[in-house]
């Protein structure tokens, strides 16, 4: 997939590096020569020095053939302009970083398919870490109605040594929740478990549940 990234700051470069590792072809646009040189020499991506809201630069960078565009420029006004131009050139998948929430609706009107608020992500991550210290990671879906999270099986937990079918049939396990992943130890691969998978001390489970059942699921595995 050909991905065009506007902005070679911390977010833009980190995104470029991860996408390169996933096997995608990446081009980065930035006005800073040093940032372009770093992206080119250290990350091995194509770079185009200039403004990501300049039509000539965008065309030179191949926006007409881009599968995705990510606008991660220094402010929302520039990101909004890049989103608008990406829509104009027919890019099928447009993402943008949002700094100020007032831009959420303008971004969507302009054609952004994904609007990612860095502030909201940081606040949500820290709040989850405070509220649920035993949870390793958590993602929200459907406007926060569904939670997917990783949870370690503590040595005090009653589920130690139980099979997955025993766990899910326990009346204390909230109905409608699912264990969709299992990791036997921190360095093992995350696998899709079956009914005979045995939960062991130090293992990790990946669970999907409704938001209102989150506390019950965590308490079940921690008890």
Domain segments of the chain: what residues? 2-119, 128-222
Structure tokens at 207: 């669970």
What per-residue confidence (pLDDT) applies to 168?
87
What per-residue confidence (pLDDT) applies to 86?
98
What per-residue confidence (pLDDT) applies to 87?
97
Does residue 7 carry a pLDDT above 90?
A: yes
76 or 207, which is more confident?
A: 76
Does residue 120 carry a pLDDT above 80?
A: no
Share of the chain residues as helix, strand and coil, in percent rounded to the nearest 5: 40, 25, 35
Does residue 37 carry a pLDDT above 90?
A: yes
Contact 55, 33 (CB under 8 A): no
Contact 159, 199 (CB under 8 A): yes
C-alpha to C-alpha distance for 92 and 197, rounded to whole angstroms: 41
Prediction pTM value: 0.70
Contact 205, 151 (CB under 8 A): yes
Cα Dmax for the chain: 63
Contact 46, 40 (CB under 8 A): yes
Does residue 144 carry a pLDDT above 70?
A: no
Does residue 176 carry a pLDDT above 80?
A: yes
Residue 80, number of CB atoms within 10 A of its CB: 21
Q: What is the mean predicted confidence (pLDDT) over 186-198? A: 88
Q: Domain 2-119 has what CATH class?
A: alpha beta
Q: What is the mean predicted confidence (pLDDT) over 9-31? A: 95
C-alpha to C-alpha distance for 192 and 198, rounded to whole angstroms: 12
124 or 87, which is more confident?
A: 87
What per-residue confidence (pLDDT) applies to 54?
97
Contact 90, 64 (CB under 8 A): yes
Tell me if 2-119 shares its fold with 128-222. Answer: no
Q: Is CATH 3.30.70.1450 the right assignment for the domain spanning 128-222?
A: yes
What per-residue confidence (pLDDT) applies to 142?
60
Max mean pLDDT range (57-61, 128-132, 161-165, 204-208): 57-61
C-alpha to C-alpha distance for 169 and 24, rounded to whole angstroms: 43
Does residue 143 carry a pLDDT above 70?
A: no
What per-residue confidence (pLDDT) applies to 223?
67
Mean pLDDT of the residues in the chain: 89
Q: Where are the alpha helices (DSSP H) in the chain?
A: 10-21, 33-38, 55-60, 76-88, 104-110, 118-131, 164-169, 214-222
Does residue 217 carry a pLDDT above 80?
A: yes
Q: Which of 203, 155, 202 is nearest to 181 (CA)?
A: 203
pLDDT digits (tens, 9 = 90+) for 72-84: 999 999 999 999 9
Q: Which residues are within 8 A (CB) of 217 and not within 5 positions of it... i.e. 6 or more apart? A: 151, 173, 174, 177, 207, 209
Q: What is the mean predicted confidence (pLDDT) over 74-100? A: 96
Q: What is the mean predicted confidence (pLDDT) over 87-99? A: 96
Does residue 57 carry a pLDDT above 90?
A: yes
Does residue 3 carry a pLDDT above 90?
A: yes
């Amino acid at each position: 997939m050909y991905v065009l990234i506007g902005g070679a700051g911390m977010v833009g470069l980190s995104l470029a590096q991860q996408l390169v590792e996933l096997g995608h072809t990446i081009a980065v646009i930035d006005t800073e020569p040093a940032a372009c040189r770093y992206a080119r020499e250290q990350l091995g991506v194509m770079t185009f020095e200039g403004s990501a809201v300049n039509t000539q630069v965008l065309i030179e960078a191949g926006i007409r053939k881009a599968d995705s565009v990510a606008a991660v420029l220094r402010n929302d006004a520039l990101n909004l302009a890049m989103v608008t131009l990406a829509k104009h050139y027919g890019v099928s998948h447009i993402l943008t970083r949002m700094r100020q929430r007032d831009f959420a609706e303008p971004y969507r009107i302009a054609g952004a398919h994904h609007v990612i608020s860095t502030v909201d992500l940081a606040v949500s991550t820290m709040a989850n870490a405070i509220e649920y210290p035993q949870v390793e990671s958590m993602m929200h879906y459907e406007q926060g109605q569904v939670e997917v999270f990783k949870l370690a099986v503590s040595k005090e937990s009653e589920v130690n040594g139980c099979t997955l079918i025993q766990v899910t049939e326990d009346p204390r396990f909230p109905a409608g929740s699912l264990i969709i992943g299992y990791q036997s130890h921190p360095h093992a691969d995350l696998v899709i478990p079956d009914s005979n998978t045995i939960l062991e001390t130090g293992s990790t489970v990946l669970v999907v549940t409704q938001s209102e059942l989150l506390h019950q699921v965590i308490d079940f595995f921690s008890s």
